Structure 1
Amino acid sequence: MAKVSVIPARQQVQVIDGVSRERKKRVCAYCRVSTDTEEQLTSYEAQVTYYENYIRSKPEYEFAGIFADEGITGTNTKHRVEFNRMIEAALAGQFDMIITKSISRFARNTLDCLKYVRLLKEKGIGVYFEKENIDTLDSKGEVLLTILSSLAQDESRNISENSRWGIVRRFQQGKVRVNHKRFLGYDKDENGELIINEQEAAVVRRIYDEYLGGLGYKSIALKLEAEGIRNGSGKVKWHDSNIKQILTNEKYMGDALLQKTITVDFLTHKRVKNKGEAQQYYVEDSHPAIISKEAFQKVQEEIERRAKMQGCTNETRSRHSNKYAFSGKLICGNCGSKFRRKRWGQTEKYKKYVWICVNHANNGNEACDMKAVDEEKLKAAFVRSINKAIQAKDTFIKTMIENINNVLESRREDAELQEINTRLEELKEQMLNLVRLNLRSGLDSLIYDEEYQSLEQEMQELKQRKAAFDNTELIRDKALKKAEEIEKLLSSRQELLKRFDDYLFTEMVEQVRIVSLVEVEFIYKTGLVIKEIL
């Protein structure tokens, strides 16, 4: 295995203290190279020398220092020490202008670039990009910067995608890389291969045994904590989630599921759970097992069995977050206020739960004369309502699709959206060509400004129209997804409902309008309204 050494960046900053307070513009420079090759290092030293000489040669400038990051990626500014120090110094009023070679040297993504340019601009500090001939304090500077920055951003995206290709290639070859530092039960040998840490592995085996013996996540966590046993992070504090993670991690049986998470944004490097967006790779017997495959499978079956006994799975448990099914869904037909739950009766024999209008409860009959509604009557009314839908599911689903189509845009409008996107790309290309032509040939300023403003105005109008379509697409996606879920839910019901089902109510009903003490309206998420008598 090749030995990889990391050469840390050298901080090379020359700051002149006590700069003159004359009218000269205090100017610093920012330099950066991406790698530590000899050729790049030469470029790095050359940049520092060039900008110091350049600033000192200008009589209207006063040299205020050089800030330089070496060997640090430009994708984001988080690890660029000298860049961040320069921004702090600028905001503290130590200089008036920053000079840098190009947008890609300053920042490789539009987000960071515009963020810092605007921040500096608010303080009256300009950034001059030599290659692009852009001064951010110029009236057109930021608009031009937005366009040109997108080109630099494409470069960073390509770099990110190339790196990702290398990772996926390792996955395809079955090469497993695991961070063992927080992985209870394993260490790494001198070759970087996983090996069992027997002392920690005993804790893992104990967790599996105790779960199969009948203990729950919380009970196991409390026992381990009471005995002072440390978790994978080296802490004595155990949580339910620690236990569940150990019991559901396939790596403990010697296998590895690769690409469980994916990077959704090459700029922020944010990772989310892979729910089918990217291909996954399952490697069997990739490393020594602590738990047998049979024991691991028994635990998964026991987890599922316990979930069913509790009346829910992981999926349904996450969907239903309100304390009661009716919470937040009951609306007063008189005043529009919501309802809250209340217990009536002091003894168990006479106890019952009702739902009362919040406005009536807080402000009395003068504000709203709606009386309390019996919870059991509401449940019975829903059972009758949903059974009507189940009995006529084909009609119910047909009505649902018709309602969705009534509020969504037609295919003609989809074609119109495509035309908008095409025209926006054309305008962007025209603006870039105009900027390039101006940089090369120096167009008449009046002609340039007139042409540029015309393109910009059309682009802004198209963006506003596109925003309206984007909102429609969001509604479309949500509605169609919900329609599929409801159709699947109804299709799976072969028998009529005999008693109230919290999950079915939560998934199907958008709102319940309490018309009176004897009448309610169930407003389904499909748009259908079914009236029932209490």
Structure 2
Amino acid sequence: MPKVSVIPAKQVQVINGIKDKKKKRVCAYCRVSTDTDEQLTSYEAQVTYYESYIRGKPEYEFAGIFADEGITGTNTKHRTEFKRMIDEALAGKFDMIITKSISRFARNTLDCLKYVRLLRDKGIGVYFEKENIDTLDSKGEVLLTILSSLAQDESRNISENSRWGIVRRFQQGKVRVNHKRFLGYDKDENGELIIDEEQAKIVRRIYKEYLEGKGIRAIGKDLERDNILTGAGGRKWHDSTIQKILRNEKYSGDALLQKTITTDFLTHKRVKNKGEVQQYYVEDSHPAIISKEMFRMVQEEIKRRASLIGYSEKTKSRYTNKYAFSGRIVCGNCGSKFRRKRWGPGEKYKKYVWLCANHIDNGLKACSMKAVSEEKLKAAFVRSINKIIENKEAFIKTMMENISRVSESKEDRSELKIINESLEELKEQMMNLVRLNVRSSLDNQIYDEEYERLEEEIKQLKEKKAGFDNTELIKKEGIQEVKEIERILRDRQDIIKDFDRELFMQIVDKVKVISLVEVEFIYKSGVVVKEIL
């Protein structure tokens, strides 16, 4: 029998040619995951324990404590003390790191192994006290890989549990908002949102000026001119800052929850929720700075400005806030938007007219519509709105009757009921088919064909149902629109003498030019009033 001799394993330091020191320079790394009082107590206890532990070992030389508090361990991206420790280790300032457990060091397998191997190559060990693993030991790598994977699973479970708690709060309508950069709001001693009246004035000003026709850039410049600070305390009002304020439903007292979702529990990357998971809309969750009607009007104005397109891509119109008629005048011939033009030589004879963009860009053959005078358009609106003001009770009654008639359509409700019943029936058929296949093992082709047929029918019915849901939403918005117009008209006791830009923008959807002498004012309620120029 051959003779076998065992050659003892060498330490990594010896293999790498690093001289053995009399005393090991040892540091400790501590971390807690959240910033609650209990966890911070745990953090302080860890720091005290490891300093005493290292100083109490005669073979160790205390090299310091590195500690991160209130920071998650799923990645090392934001752990400043951890990064500093690694940098100092690679610079040769100590020989060993002691930490409580793998999950304290990192809950990401890749991060954990990456740093352990990086340190080991420099002859620096990491000792995980709970698992009793020394990374300079020959068995350390295998055990570390297994236990790091378990730590990563633990982190995934914690992430899922946290998300479940957040979703439960959403379902209960509990709104959590970071108020520090939230212009117009503060929090009281109970953590509830309260209005900061000084900042609220800025929010109301932004909404009001936008509805009056100002562009986002012009609003921002005026705020900067008046030395008004943003919610974050900055002097520069970026377009995106004002856009977010105008689109934020929280200013109307409501809250849309789960706007973003976390796609990776390790990197904590968040993306916009485009329907991947449920959202929750909480009405009247906190005090409102602006009315729901004003918020709705702003959202419609945002859409209107975004849709300012002329006859073709070549005649696309850029929104301008200078003129009340911008984007609102359309050609009765070709459907293009109108543009403002100056006519007449010199200041004495100048006048402004509105002309079809298709006619301007492509000539008379493309569109024969003539120019219309701006002053005549303004005078026509004054006559049109005065007719409504003088007969506002009849006008309001007609609007409400039209909305009520549409809302109370029995045919729609009956058809929607049939769709819902058919969907339930098809779903039951699909479940029965699946059960039958499990019990009797149907022919694959027959099963697939029948399943696909049911699936297609369900898809078609769902699309049809979505159309009804959209109709209901339009009806609801229509009612709100009529109520807003009713409020505006009831506030007007006397007829107007001059063109009122604010009133025009509040209640007119568009102006359709029929000919050189005739236009139609299409009000936001859907009512059309013809006028002669």
TM-score (norm 2): 0.48
TM-score (norm 1): 0.48
The structure with the largest alpha-carbon Rg is 2
